Amino acid sequence: MSGQGEAPLVAVIATGGTIASRRGIDGVSTPSLSGEDLLALVPQISARLKPVDLMAKDSSSLTLADMQRISDAVGVELGDPTVAGVVVLHGTDAMEESSLLVHLQHAITKPVVFTGAQFTADHPDADGPSNLARAIEIALDQTNAERGVLLSFGGRCLPAWGLYKLSADSADAFRSARPVAPAATLNLAAPVAGLRVDIVAIYPGCDVAHIEASLQAGADGIVLAALGSGNANPGIAVAVKRCAERRVPVVVSSRVPEGLLVASYGGGGGGHDLVAAGAVHSSTLRPGQARILLAALLANKSPAETIVSAFGESLSH
């Protein structure tokens, strides 16, 4: 993929985030470092590095359109025969969403690795340089292409599927709800920009107001951040049935970060009842990633049976 005797080329796509941030005199952190600035901080490695400055945003402000731009940029580098691997520098707040979108939209023919930082570049314990150096090493190992999109962070290497942020203040910030990606390639290449998929929080005593608001706002789909293994109450089950009648798919996930989610509870609003009312149960993906998968499925005009299968994919692992 590179000339004989030439070090392999790794594309490093910069999108902003804490890894590219410094604190101003007001104490506020904002992305201010370019991809070239960040590469200059990396210890010497046996690779050529190609900086790609795509955007400079805090990931908390990313839209689906922004995430699509990131996915498209990865696609360009995957199609470049001179590039051996791709690293994406990204904010931690939405790392799990963007990395999953890339995983869903592309055939991963070479390593694709997301990374970032918990501490700004000018912090005394800055973790960005070491995370970036490790991500580049992973991107140089061609066997990692078989694992789909990966995250390298805090000394861990995790698959994008099932990824979630565990800590707001630790350098070891991420875990996976299910550390095996689905065997099947979903190949959901259609762009998600322009879709509206809302996440509605479920809590003891909640009513249907937020679901109704999402319907009135024209949501294309809704994800419930439910309780336990995916439970709510009888009123929510009635609202789910109303969404089904309007052909607005509802996916049930959970606010619980770990464990396989099983729709086994009744009582009028348990996971079993929500599925009976027309909802799709997410066995692995938590709300943020469930939103991305649902958006990708809707963008590709996937039939109902494909949506159910995609969210239950990890049950076989």
In 7-162, which residue ranges form alpha helices assigned H by DSSP?
35-39, 64-78, 95-105, 128-140
Helix ranges (H only) for the chain are 35-39, 64-78, 95-105, 128-140, 209-216, 234-245, 271-276, 287-299, 304-311
Residue 284 assigned to a binding site: no
Question: From CA 111, how far away is CA 128, in angstroms rounded?
Answer: 20
Confirm whether residue 59 is marked as ligand binding: yes
Cα(73)–Cα(87) distance, rounded to whole angstroms? 11
CA dihedral 264, 268, 269, 275 (to 10 degrees): 60
Q: Is 18 part of the annotated catalytic residue set? A: yes
Q: Which residue is catalytic, options 18, 115, 120, 284? A: 18
Q: Are 51 and 36 in contact (CB under 8 A)?
A: yes
Residue 93 in marked binding region: yes
CA distance 179 to 124: 32
CB 35 within 8 A of CB 13: yes
Question: Which segments are annotated as binding site for substrate?
Answer: 59, 92-93
Question: Which segments are annotated as binding site?
Answer: 59, 92-93
Catalytic positions: 18
